[in-house]
Chain A
C-alpha cells in the first residue's frame, strides 16, 4: 500500500512545476523588478534601491487607489454577506421553486466581470438607460461615471450583485450542516426565530462565514475587469483600484518598476486582512456537544 501511495506522489510534480513557473517565479521576479527603474519593454534598466517603495507613500494616485481598494473589498464583502445570508436563510426552507430562485441568484457569478461591466455601462453611461429615466422625470442628465462617490458606490453594488450568489451557496451548505435537532430543541424551549438565528445558526455558521468573507474580500480587493469595462480607472485616477493602477502604471505609464511595487502593496494588503479576519472569526467558532 505504501508503494502505491509513494507512486501517487509523483502525480504532484506537474502541478508543482506549473505553480513554480507561473506563480512562484513571477512573484519573486516581480519583487526584483520593484527595485528597478525598468520601463517594461527595454532590455536596459538600473537598480534604484527603495525609490519605488518610497514613492508609494507620496504618490496621490496610489493613495486614491488604495482607499478605493479598501472600499471595493470591505463594501462588497459586507453587502455580499448580508444579502447572501438573507437569501440562504430564505432558500433553505422546503418550498417549490427554490432551486430555480437559487439558480437565478447564482447566474451572474457565471458571467465574466468584464461582460457584466459592459452590460452595466449601457445603463449608467451619460446617454444610457438610467439617464433616460432621469430625463423622463424632468431632471438633467447625471454624469454617473464621473463623480467619485457615485461611481465607487456603483462598483460596490454591481460587484455585490454579481457575486452574492457565491456567499449564498456557501451559507446554504453551512445551514444544511446544522443538525436539525438543535433547532427543534430550541423551538421546544420557546426560542423565537431571531434567538434561534442569533444563538444557534449564526455561531455554527462561523466556518462558512470565514470561507465566504475570505473569498469575497480577496475578490473585492482584486477588482479589475469591472473597473476597466466601466471607467478604466478614470476620470483621472479617481476610480482606480490597486489592480487597475498596476495595469495603467505598467502599460500606460511605462513604469514597470513602480507598477511592481504597487503589486507588492496589493499582495501585502490582501495577506494582512485575510490573516486578521481568519484570527477574528476563528476565535468566534463554537461547537455544540
Chain B
C-alpha cells in the first residue's frame, strides 16, 4: 500500500511539472502545400524559425506536405482538426473559408494588393488569408527558342497566331508546347484548361458564359472548342512526344535545356527552369484570345496565402505570427521566391523580379481574370478537367464523352 501511494505521488508530481512546463511554451502547427525541398517551403520554415527565436517559448511543428496536401487537409477538415496555420493554394474562399478565421480586423488588412483582393474576398466581404504574393499567370516561354524561331511573343493575339508560332518552333526542331500529360501529374493538363477556357468562355465582354457558368444554365456543348484545342495541338505535333507520360519535372528540365518554347504555367515554371539552367532566358506573355474581337488576358489569383484555423487553441499567438509574416521583409522574400508581385502594397513592399520586371511591366495594363475553375466551376471540377484532359490526350475518351463527363460532374457538384 505504501509503495503504491509513493508511486502515485511520483506520477502526480511528474504530471504537474510537465503541465507547468507545457503551459510556459506553445507549439504552433504550420503546414504548407509545397515539397520540403522547394525554395518556398524553406523560406516559410525559415520565417517560423525566426519568429521562434524572437519569441522564446513558441515553437513550430512545420510540415511541407507536397502532392498529398489536399488529401490530407480534406481529411483534417472532415475531422475538424486542422493545423493552427496553413496555406490555402488558391482555395481560401471556396474550400477553406468554413474553417478559417476572418482577418478583416488585422493591422495589415488595408495593405492588401487591390489586384488580388477580389479573389480572396467572399460574398460577405470577408477575407480569410494573408496574401504573401499576387499571382499574375501567363504563358511562359523560353526566349532563346523563340529568338531562333523568329517569333515575337507579344505579337501573338489569338490562338491562330499561337499555332503559327508553334509551327515556326516546330520547323526549327524544337517542341512548341510541353503539356506534361502524365496521369500521375494530371494537374499539368488541368492547368492548360484553366489557361485556355477563359479565352473561349469568359474574357470576351460581348460574348461570354460568365453568368451561365455560375447560375447553372451553361450549355456544355460550348466546352467542345476548349477541349478540342488540346487535341488540335496534339494532332499537329505541337506537344512533347511523350504527351501522355511527361511529368512536371520534365516540363522544367526541357524548358531549361532549350528544347521547349511554351508552357501553360505560372512564373513558378521559370523558377523551376532556373534550377536547371539559371542562365536561361525566360519570359511570359498574356494568354491569347479565342477570336480577333477579343484581346489577350492574364490570370490573377492566390499563390502563397496563409490562413489561421478558426478553432486554433493558440489563436492569439497565431495571429501575432501572421502579423510577423506580413512585415515587408517577409512578404518581399516570399514574393521574390515565387517571382510574383507582393500580396501587400505600400512602403517597403517590393519583390525582386529581376529579369522578369520588363514582362510584368508589359502585362501591367492587360485585363486580368480569376482562375477559371475557382471562379466559375463548382469545387471538385478541377479533377474533372484533369481526368478528361488526359483521357482526350490518350484517345481513351472521345470529345463527346469528355463533354458529357464535365457536364455530369458539374451538375452533381453544384448540388453539394
Q: Which residues of A contact B (CB under 8 A)?
A: 37-45, 48, 55, 59-61, 125-127, 141, 143, 145-148, 231-238, 248, 251-255, 258
With an 8 A cutoff between CB atoms, is B12 at the interface?
Answer: no
**How long is the Cα–Cα vector from A37 to B244 in the complex, in angstroms?**
33
Residues of B within 8 Å of A148, CB to CB, are: 396
Residues of B within 8 Å of A235, CB to CB, are: 183, 244, 390-391, 393-394, 396
For residues 357 through 416 of chain B, which have their beta carbon under 8 Å from a beta carbon of chain A? 379-380, 383-384, 386-388, 390-394, 396-397, 401, 404-405, 408-409, 412-413, 415-416
Residues A237 and B387 in contact, CB atoms below 8 Å apart:
yes
Nearest CB in chain B to that of A52: its residue: B412
Residues B384 and A253 in contact, CB atoms below 8 Å apart:
yes
Residues A145 and B244 in contact, CB atoms below 8 Å apart:
yes
12 CB-based A-B contacts, threshold 8 Å? A41-B74, A61-B405, A143-B244, A146-B396, A231-B183, A231-B184, A234-B390, A235-B390, A235-B393, A236-B396, A254-B379, A255-B412
Residues of B within 8 Å of A236, CB to CB, are: 183, 387-388, 390-392, 394, 396-397
Given A59-B408, A127-B242, A238-B391, do A43 and B183 touch, yes or no (CB 8 Å)?
A: no
Given A40-B78, A235-B394, A252-B383, do A143 and B405 touch, yes or no (CB 8 Å)?
A: no
Nearest CB in chain A to that of B392: its residue: A236
**How long is the Cα–Cα vector from A37 to B415 in the complex, in angstroms?**
8
Given A41-B78, A59-B408, do A234 and B184 touch, yes or no (CB 8 Å)?
A: yes
With an 8 A cutoff between CB atoms, is B281 at the interface?
Answer: no
Residues B183 and A234 in contact, CB atoms below 8 Å apart:
yes
Residues A238 and B77 in contact, CB atoms below 8 Å apart:
no
With an 8 A cutoff between CB atoms, is B95 at the interface?
Answer: yes
- Given A38, A40, A42, A143, which contacts B245 in the complex, CB threshold below 8 Å? A143
Residues B242 and A126 in contact, CB atoms below 8 Å apart:
yes
**How long is the Cα–Cα vector from A237 to B409 in the complex, in angstroms?**
14
With an 8 A cutoff between CB atoms, is B98 at the interface?
Answer: yes
Residue with the greatest number of chain B CB neighbours at <10 A, chosen from A143, A145, A235, A248: A235
Residues of B within 8 Å of A59, CB to CB, are: 408
Residues A41 and B387 in contact, CB atoms below 8 Å apart:
no
With an 8 A cutoff between CB atoms, is B71 at the interface?
Answer: yes
Nearest CB in chain B to that of A247: its residue: B71
Residues of A within 8 Å of B404, CB to CB, are: 60
With an 8 A cutoff between CB atoms, is B186 at the interface?
Answer: yes
Nearest CB in chain B to that of A228: its residue: B184
Residues A237 and B391 in contact, CB atoms below 8 Å apart:
yes
Residues B184 and A41 in contact, CB atoms below 8 Å apart:
no
Residues of B within 8 Å of A126, CB to CB, are: 242, 244-245
Residue with the greatest number of chain A CB neighbours at <10 A, chosen from B71, B95, B392, B394: B394
Question: What is the minimal beta-carbon distance from A201 to any residue of chain B, in angstroms?
Answer: 44
**How long is the Cα–Cα vector from A237 to B397 in the complex, in angstroms?**
9
Residues A255 and B413 in contact, CB atoms below 8 Å apart:
yes
Residue with the greatest number of chain A CB neighbours at <10 A, chosen from B186, B242, B245, B388: B245
Residues B184 and A55 in contact, CB atoms below 8 Å apart:
no
Residues of B within 8 Å of A38, CB to CB, are: 416
Residues of B within 8 Å of A55, CB to CB, are: 412
Residues B383 and A143 in contact, CB atoms below 8 Å apart:
no
With an 8 A cutoff between CB atoms, is B80 at the interface?
Answer: yes
- Given A232, A255, A258, which contacts B183 in the complex, CB threshold below 8 Å? A232
Residues of B within 8 Å of A37, CB to CB, are: 415-416
Residues A127 and B245 in contact, CB atoms below 8 Å apart:
yes
Nearest CB in chain A to that of B80: its residue: A43
Nearest CB in chain B to that of A42: its residue: B98
Residues of A within 8 Å of B387, CB to CB, are: 234, 236-237, 248, 252
Residues of B within 8 Å of A232, CB to CB, are: 183-184, 186
Question: What is the minimal beta-carbon distance from B309 to any residue of chain A, in angstroms?
Answer: 13
With an 8 A cutoff between CB atoms, is B70 at the interface?
Answer: yes
Question: What is the minimal beta-carbon distance from B415 to any residue of chain A, in angstroms?
Answer: 6
Residue-by-residue, is B170-208 near A (CB-CB < 8 Å gives 1, otherwise 0)? 000000000000011010000000000000000000000
Question: What is the minimal beta-carbon distance from A245 to any residue of chain B, in angstroms?
Answer: 11
Question: What is the minimal beta-carbon distance from A143 to any residue of chain B, in angstroms?
Answer: 6
Given A146-B245, A234-B387, do A254 and B413 touch, yes or no (CB 8 Å)?
A: yes
Residues of A within 8 Å of B396, CB to CB, are: 146, 148, 235-238
Question: What is the minimal beta-carbon distance from A126 to any residue of chain B, in angstroms?
Answer: 4
**How long is the Cα–Cα vector from A127 to B75 in the complex, in angstroms?**
35
**How long is the Cα–Cα vector from A180 to B198 in the complex, in angstroms?**
76
Residues of B within 8 Å of A44, CB to CB, are: 98
**How long is the Cα–Cα vector from A243 to B375 in the complex, in angstroms?**
31
Nearest CB in chain A to that of B380: its residue: A254
Residues B71 and A251 in contact, CB atoms below 8 Å apart:
yes
**How long is the Cα–Cα vector from A238 to B387 in the complex, in angstroms?**
10
**How long is the Cα–Cα vector from A104 to B388 in the complex, in angstroms?**
42
Question: What is the minimal beta-carbon distance from A71 to any residue of chain B, in angstroms?
Answer: 15
Residues A60 and B401 in contact, CB atoms below 8 Å apart:
yes
**How long is the Cα–Cα vector from A212 to B186 in the complex, in angstroms?**
37
Question: What is the minimal beta-carbon distance from A208 to any residue of chain B, in angstroms?
Answer: 38
Residues of A within 8 Å of B409, CB to CB, are: 253
Q: 16 other contacts beyond A127-B242, A141-B241, A253-B380, with CB at 8 A cut-off?
A: A39-B379, A43-B80, A55-B412, A125-B245, A126-B242, A126-B245, A143-B245, A143-B394, A234-B183, A234-B186, A234-B391, A236-B183, A236-B392, A248-B387, A251-B71, A251-B74
**How long is the Cα–Cα vector from A231 to B183 in the complex, in angstroms?**
6
**How long is the Cα–Cα vector from A225 to B404 in the complex, in angstroms?**
29
Residue-by-residue, is B210-230 near A (CB-CB < 8 Å gives 1, otherwise 0)? 000000000000000000000
Residues A233 and B183 in contact, CB atoms below 8 Å apart:
yes
Residues B405 and A60 in contact, CB atoms below 8 Å apart:
yes
Residues of A within 8 Å of B380, CB to CB, are: 39, 252-255
For residues 39 through 65 of chain B, which have their beta carbon under 8 Å from a beta carbon of chain A? none
Residue with the greatest number of chain B CB neighbours at <10 A, chosen from A59, A145, A146: A146
